[in-house]
Amino acid sequence: MARKTNPPTDANANSIDALVRLERLDDAAELALRQGDPTRASGLFERACMFERAANASRVAGDHKRAFELGARACDLDHLDSLTRFANELTVEQAANMAPIVSSRGQHAAAALAWERASSPLSAAGAWDRAGEAIRAATNYENEGALVDAARVLERAIEQGDPTDAHRFALGNLLLRHGKWEGALRQLQRIADASALHAEAQEKVTFALRALGHLPHSEIIPPAAHVGASLLFGRYEVVREVASTANARVLECTDRLTGQRVALKMLAFDPVSPHGRDALVRFEREVHILMRVNHPRIVPMLDYMKDGPAIALAWMGGGTLDDVMAKIPLTPARACEIALSVLHALAEAHRLGIIHRDIKPSNVLFDDAGAAHLSDFGAAHIADASRTVTAAIIGSHGTMSPEQQRGEPATIRSDLYSVGIVFRTMLVGAQGFTHQKPSHVHANLSALHDEAIAMLCAEAADDRPPNAAEAYAALTRLSWPNVVELQNTSVTMTVNGPQSQPKERYEHSAQEGWTDRWLATRVSIVDLTDANLTLARAFAKALHPGLQRILRTDATRLFVEATAAESSDAVWNSSDATWLRSALAALHKTGCVHGNIDESHIFRTRSGILRLRFPTVHRASTAERDAADLDLLIRKRSATNI
């Protein structure tokens, strides 16, 4: 029941006035409160410079704007609870009006609370920053997506003085929430052992190390008690890491807003390095493409976080085609169904002028119902589909078309070739094994089936179907059996993987050296040392046809394209010189140097392309030394023309 108050009488007023005349303002204010006049009490408390009591009296009177203004004069950073209560009782309009008033008086914490009440987080962040509350400022910046400003505020607080552990912890958490694992580690590992935050920081350090691959793990699960480390972009709870490359990580997450599982693809790169910038370009290209396409057989993008950068994709619970082939042999009907799904997706992409350029089993994903979807448009190129695209080797060598491997322009028929190789892989198992016909593996397939797949995999682009629709029609004209009926041959398909293969993959002869029978390609084999692996990755990342091709690795060996000897009297023209310089520049962009630029490390392929040979002896060098050695060699070879 509301307390009844008596209106002030003349006697009461005279008593209050008497106390005022005696300068007993606080007693007069108390008397006004007892007599039910909180408005007069507030004024008297204000005259007595008792601002917090004046604010509370105005609050009792229902004048929340005046209560907040008086509270701002009374409360400092140690008494923010009271001021927060006053701010929360303002209307949004009142808060927006009061914020600049208290800010002009230097009452920045009060201004920040008012801006928060007015739903202006960026203005609140600036006010908290001026008030010296870096953590509160960073929270507001992050909520508004201004991650750089959030990090900047915390970094400045760390540089300027104590206490810094709380700021380091906040900055580490900020970076952790947005997948900046290295930066998070730098902050969290510097928190003092004696700090109350040390134990929690160490748990987050462990999570970051696992995310970076520095600790063994099959999945990443952050500590359940510290949800902040597993909550990314304010809505995605990390369940586990499902895949990672040098440039990106894919996390299985739960979307807090929808309750759905999603795949969060996060770019992890060094923005300063040329390779990092290239990775960012590919990532943004994929985003741009996924914003344009909408097809039931293309994995859809659900959200894009530019500040990550990261994208949320529909969750594909059935895994990749590699995973599916590793479990059981596929029936011809199932293999054809998957190939048709990819062709259906490509028909739409090609209609929009998008060439995928990297069709391979790991880029074919399955939803929980088993439907196939095409993914990973990072290597795709947006162009007029009636034209070719820039000549460059982009894609995976196992399924890449011959014209792409030669560094020639890719077209929509290049995508069709890759679909054909993937289809044949599903049937015979050996990816790229061009001499094995599906009918030699499956007793229930005929020469007509072989011809349909061979047409997709034709060496010459003009011999392939003109578009995905024609390829789709050609495959659907045939009946594909729904049982696996294997021939009694040396090719064996097992449930342990898609290794339908000859008994011995590599064959050696004195004349030809090593030959990869699966790929029908001559290869060179070198030891898989750390130095060789580092440089091999650089050769592969450079994506330049003027560099010797890196084919694959196993546990102890590295397989590279075999080389052909060049005659000692061969000469180079200006085009050759430009070509070699561009190949070396592409290698340098990865951050690696060659170190062995001499005649023994340059060869010409049978098709006449000059290439830099992969060096197996590693010498300390620099990019400048590489370039100088190449210029010297060019002058020597060009002089033979005179």
pLDDT digits (tens, 9 = 90+) for 178-204: 777 777 877 887 887 788 888 888 877
Instruction: Please state, in angstroms and rounded to a whole number, the distance separating the CA atoms of residues 407 and 601.
Output: 20
Indicate left, alpha or beta for 556 from its phi (over 0: left) and psi (-120 to 50: alpha): alpha
Residue 228 has pLDDT above 70, yes or no: no
pLDDT of residue 335: 93
Instruction: Please state, in angstroms and rounded to a whole number, the distance separating the CA atoms of residues 141 and 301.
Output: 26
Percent of the chain with pLDDT over 90: 9
Indicate left, alpha or beta for 411 from its phi (over 0: left) and psi (-120 to 50: alpha): beta
Instruction: Please state, in angstroms and rounded to a whole number, the distance separating the CA atoms of residues 180 and 310.
Output: 11
Instruction: Please state, in angstroms and rounded to a whole number, the distance separating the CA atoms of residues 5 and 8.
Output: 9
Phi, psi of 33 (to 5 degrees): -65, -45
Highest-confidence range of 187-191, 369-373, 477-481, by mean pLDDT? 477-481
Q: In 3-state terms, what secondary structure has residue 347? A: helix
Count of beta carbons in the 10 Å neighbourhood of residue 23: 11
Residue 163 has pLDDT above 80, yes or no: no
For 505-642, CATH gives 1.10.510.10
Residue 629 structure tokens: 């050695």
Mean pLDDT of the chain: 75
**If you average pLDDT over residues 459-465, what whole number do you get?**
91
Structure confidence by residue, pLDDT tens digits, 299-348: 888 888 876 678 888 888 888 888 888 777 788 999 999 999 999 989 88
Percent of the chain with pLDDT over 70: 76
CATH of 233-314, one of 3.40.50.1110, 3.30.200.20, 2.30.29.30, 3.40.1010.20: 3.30.200.20
Question: Whole-model pTM above 0.85?
Answer: no
Instruction: Please state, in angstroms and rounded to a whole number, the distance separating the CA atoms of residues 538 and 275.
Output: 10
Instruction: Please state, in angstroms and rounded to a whole number, the distance separating the CA atoms of residues 419 and 436.
Output: 16
Q: Where are the beta strands (DSSP E) in 280-324?
A: 301-305, 310-314, 319-320
Instruction: Please state, in angstroms and rounded to a whole number, the distance separating the CA atoms of residues 448 and 108.
Output: 80
Instruction: Please state, in angstroms and rounded to a whole number, the distance separating the CA atoms of residues 222 and 230.
Output: 6
Q: In 3-state terms, what secondary structure has residue 37? A: coil
Going by the DSSP 8-state scheme, the letter that residue 146 receives in this structure is -
pLDDT of residue 463: 93
Task: Return all residues near 92 (Cβ < 8 A) that are at least 6 apart.
Answer: 117, 118, 119
Count of beta carbons in the 10 Å neighbourhood of residue 321: 24
**Contact (Cβ atoms closer than 8 angstroms) between residue 412 and residue 350:** yes
Alpha carbons within 13 angstroms on the beta-carbon side of residue 565 total 4
Phi, psi of 486 (to 5 degrees): -80, 145
**Contact (Cβ atoms closer than 8 angstroms) between residue 114 and residue 102:** yes
Instruction: Please state, in angstroms and rounded to a whole number, the distance separating the CA atoms of residues 468 and 340.
Output: 9
Domains 233-314 and 319-476 share a fold: no
Residue 225 has pLDDT above 70, yes or no: no
Query: ∠ CA(404), CA(405), CA(411), 5° rounding?
Result: 10
Give the domain ranges of the chain: 233-314, 319-476, 505-642
**Contact (Cβ atoms closer than 8 angstroms) between residue 413 and residue 406:** no
Residue 77 has pLDDT above 60, yes or no: no
Does the structural domain 319-476 have CATH classification 1.10.510.10? yes
Pairing status of strand 513-516 against strand 521-527: antiparallel
Which comes out higher in pLDDT, residue 474 or 527?
A: 474
The gap from C-alpha 106 to its chain's centroid, in whole angstroms, comes to: 42
Confidence of residue 385 (pLDDT cuts 50, 70, 90): very low
Amino acid at 39: T
Query: ∠ CA(441), CA(443), CA(444), 5° rounding?
Result: 120
**If you average pLDDT over residues 274-300, what whole number do you get?**
73
Task: Return all residues near 466 (Cβ < 8 A) that are at least 6 apart.
Answer: 413
Residue 222 has pLDDT above 70, yes or no: no
Amino acid at 313: L
Residue 603 structure tokens: 């060869």
